Amino acid sequence: MQLLDGRKVSKEILHSLQKEVAALEKKHIHPKLTVILVGKDASSVSYISQKQKACLTTGIQWEQFDYETDVTTEILIEKIKDLNADETVHGILVQLPLPKQVYVPDVIRAIEPKKDVDGFTAYNLGKMFLSTEFEYLAPCTPLGVVRILEHYKIAIEGKEVVVVGHSNIVGKPLSVMLLNRNATVTTCHVYTKDLASHTRRADILCVAVGKPGLISAEMVKEGAVVIDIGINKTNEGKLVGDIDFEAVGKKAAYVTPVPGGMGPMTVACLMENTIKAAKRLNFQ
C-alpha cells in the first residue's frame, strides 16, 4: 500500500502558493483571509490555528473576529456585510459549527460569493453543479480530495467511485465534483441498505462520516484507492479516521492517513481558494 501523504502534498501546494502571494504583493495586492469564530470549541480553535499557520507560511494576511456563544444571526450578518464591502478582504470564512440560536443558512447566504473561500454559498455550489468549467470556489475538503488524486496521478475518469456520507460540505459536493470528472459515482448515507455491497465495488472509496471503524477490510476491494476524510477522537485522545487503517492498508493500493491526510489538504485548498479569490477580485 502506498500512503497518500496529505501533509507532504499540502506543503508543496503551500510552497507554490507562497510564490503566487509574492507575485501578487509586487502588484500591491495583499491577499487577506478573514475568519469569524464563535465561542471556543476545542476542535474549531485547533482547525483555525492550522489555517492561521498556513496563512503565515504562504504570506496571506489573516484577521480573526471572535464572538461569544450568545451572538445572534443578525450580529454575524452585519459583520459579514462589512467584510463584503471591505476591498482589502478577499476571503470570508465562518468557522462551523455555530451555536443553536444562530441560523446558519442565513449566515452563509450573507457571504459575497466572490469571497466565499469555503465554497458553501448556493452560488458557488450551483456553479460547481454545472460542470468543472464553471467551478469557481469549490468546498475545500472535496477540492482537497481532487488535488491529492491529481498529485498521485490517480485517474478519476471512468472509475467506479463510492462516496460514503452526503453532507452539504463534504459528501454531496465531493460526489458532484467526481461526477464532473467523469467517474461513475454512488453516494451512500445512513439510509443505504447493505453499505458493504457498494463499497466493495469501489475503485476509489471516499469516506466522510465521522464513525471510527465504519469501513473494515472486508468492505474494500483489493487494490482500491481509499480516501479517509473522517476525523474522530478516541477515548485515549488519539485522532483516527473512519476506516480500519491497519487492515484496509493491507488490501488497498493507496490510503490516506488520519491525521496527515485530508486535514492538511483541506487547509491548503483554503489557501488556494483565497488566492484565487484575491486574483479574481482584482483582475476580473
Which set of grid coordinates corresponds to residue 131?
A: 460542470
Tell which one of 4, 108, 229, 278 touches ligand NAP (CB under 6 A). 229
141 near ligand NAP, rule: CB under 6 A:
yes
Q: How far apart are CA 221 and CA 203, in angstroms?
A: 7
Is 106:232 a contact under the CB 8 Å cutoff? no
* E strand or H helix that includes residue 93: strand 91-94
Q: Which is nearer to ligand NAP, 39 or 210 (CB)?
A: 210
Q: Which of 99, 210, 213, 260 binds ligand NAP (CB under 6 A)?
A: 210
Is there binding between residue 208 and ligand NAP (CB under 6 A)? yes
Residue closer to ligand NAP, measured from CB, 13 or 24: 13
| Closer to ligand NAP by Cβ: residue 135 or 228 | 228
Quickly list DSSP for 5-39. -HHHHHHHHHHHHHHHHHHHHHTT---EEEEEEES
Cα–Cα dist 83/107, whole Å? 13
Long-range contacts of 245-250 (CB under 8 A, 24+ apart): 247/216, 247/217, 248/215, 248/216, 248/217, 248/220, 249/1, 250/1, 250/217
Kindly state whether residue 263 participates in binding ligand NAP, applying the rule CB under 6 A: yes
Which CB, 29 or 206, lies closer to ligand NAP?
Answer: 206
Rounded to whole angstroms, the Cα distance separating 241 from 259 reads 8
The verdict on 190 binding ligand NAP (CB under 6 A) reads: yes
CB-based burial label for 195 (10 Å; 0-12, 13-18, 19+): middle
59 binds ligand NAP (CB under 6 A): no
Q: Which residues are CB-contacts of 125 (< 8 A; sequence separation ≥ 6)?
A: 119, 139, 168, 173
Q: Give yes or no: 127 in active site.
A: no
3-class SS of residue 68: coil
- Among 10, 57, 266, 273, the residue binding ligand NAP under the rule CB under 6 A is 266
Note if 51 is an active site residue.
yes
Q: Is 66 a catalytic residue?
A: no
Q: Which one of 118, 203, 228, 244 is the catalytic residue?
A: 118
Binding of ligand NAP by 230 (CB under 6 A) = yes
Segment 158 to 177, residues that bind ligand NAP, using CB under 6 A: 164-167, 169-171
Q: For residue 209, state whether it binds ligand NAP (rule: CB under 6 A).
A: yes
Name the minimum Å distance from CB 265 to ligand NAP.
7
Residue 216 contacts ligand NAP per CB under 6 A = no
Q: Residue 241's CB: how many other CB atoms inside 10 A?
A: 31
According to the binding rule CB under 6 A, does residue 262 interact with ligand NAP?
yes
List of residues contacting ligand NAP (CB under 6 A) = 141, 164-167, 169-171, 188-192, 195, 208-211, 214, 229-232, 262-263, 266
Residues tagged active-site: 51, 95, 118
